[in-house]
Structure 1
Amino acid sequence: MVTRHIKTEIMHRVVEYNGVLYFGGLVAGDCSQDMKGQTEQICEKIDNILAQLGSSKEKIITAMIYISDFSQKSGMNEGWLKWLPPNHLPARATIGVANLGENVLVEVVISAAK
C-alpha cells in the first residue's frame, strides 16, 4: 500500500511504500546562510519529519544532495558529517546544478527505512 504524508501545494513531502519513506527535496528555511548553515537546517527538518513518521536518521538508506556552488561543498560535508553518526552514513551522491532557486545553495532528497 502507498501512503502519502505531509501534503504541500505541489506534492506530498514523503511517500511511503513497503516500509521505505521516499522524501521529496528539502531546502533550508533561511537561505541567507552559507551552504553549511543551510545543510544544518535541512538535517534538522529531516530529523523532525523522520521522528514524526516513526523513523530516524540512522535508518537513512540513500541521499542525493544537489548543490549550486561546488566551492562550498566542504561546508555542506561538514554539516552533513556533524549530523550523521559515522556508522550510519547512507549511500550518497552530490550533484552540481546551475540553479536551485533564489539563494538556495543545497537541496537534499533521501529515502529511509521506517
Structure 2
Amino acid sequence: MTIRRLAEEQRLSGAVVAGGMVWLAGQVADDATLGTEGQTADILRQIDALLAEAGTDKRSLVSVTVVLTDIGDAAAMNRAWDAWLDPAHKPARMTIQAPLVDPAWKVEITGVALAPARG
C-alpha cells in the first residue's frame, strides 16, 4: 500500500493519503486572534487546501470531528460551517467541547475523506 504524507511538520503530517482515504490531522486557525467564526473559516480554508493537494475536495468528506473549547460557541462555528458546506454532500459530524493545546485556539477540526481513485 502506498502512503502519501502531505504538509509534513516536525511531529505530524497535515494529511495522510492511504487505503483510498485522506486522513486529516486536527487543523487549527493560522490566526488565533480571530473569534470562533473566523477561526472556523480559516480552518475550513486549510482543509480545502489539504484536500486539493490530495486530489479531492470537501464533497468527499465522510466524517468530521469539531472540537470547541466552549460549546457555547457552536452557533458561531456553525455560521462558518454552513457558509462552507456543500448541502448536497454533508459528512457525518460530531462536535465536542475540550481544551486545546493553545488557549487562544477556539476550534480544531479533523476529518476523513475518500481519496481519488488512482489508475
Counterpart in the other structure of 2:28:
27
What do residues 20-66 of structure 1 show as CA deviations (whole Å, max 9, x unaligned)?
00011000011111111000000001111111110001111100100
Say what the alpha-carbon RMSD is for the aligned residues: 1.1
Q: For 1:86, what is the secondary structure of its paired residue?
A: coil
Q: TM-score, normalised by structure 2?
A: 0.90
What is the alpha-carbon distance in structure 1 between the residues aligned to residue 11 and residue 31 of structure 2? 21
- Percent identity over the alignment? 30
What does 1:63-82 correspond to in 2, within 5 Å? 63-82=64-83
Q: Where does structure 2 lack aligned partners over 5 or more consecutive residues?
A: none
Q: Which amino acid aligns with 1:38?
A: Q
Q: Where does structure 1 lack aligned partners over 5 or more consecutive residues?
A: none
Q: TM-score, normalised by structure 1?
A: 0.94
The total of aligned residue pairs comes to 114
What is the alpha-carbon distance in structure 2 between the residues aligned to residue 76 and residue 53 of structure 1? 25
What do residues 82-102 of structure 1 show as CA deviations (whole Å, max 9, x unaligned)?
101111110000010034413
Counterpart in the other structure of 1:10:
11
What is the alpha-carbon distance in structure 2 between the residues aligned to residue 6 and residue 104 of structure 1? 20
> How far is 1:70 from its partner?
1.4
What is the alpha-carbon distance in structure 1 between the residues aligned to residue 103 and residue 97 of structure 2? 16
What is the alpha-carbon distance in structure 2 between the residues aligned to residue 37 and residue 22 of structure 1? 24
Runs of 4+ in 1 over 6 A off after TM superposition: none
What is the alpha-carbon distance in structure 2 between the residues aligned to residue 99 and residue 28 of structure 1? 12
> How far is 1:4 from its partner?
2.0
Contact preservation (8 Å) 1:68, 1:100:
no
Contact preservation (8 Å) 2:71, 2:96:
no
Q: For 2:11, what is the secondary structure of its paired residue?
A: coil
Counterpart in the other structure of 1:62:
63
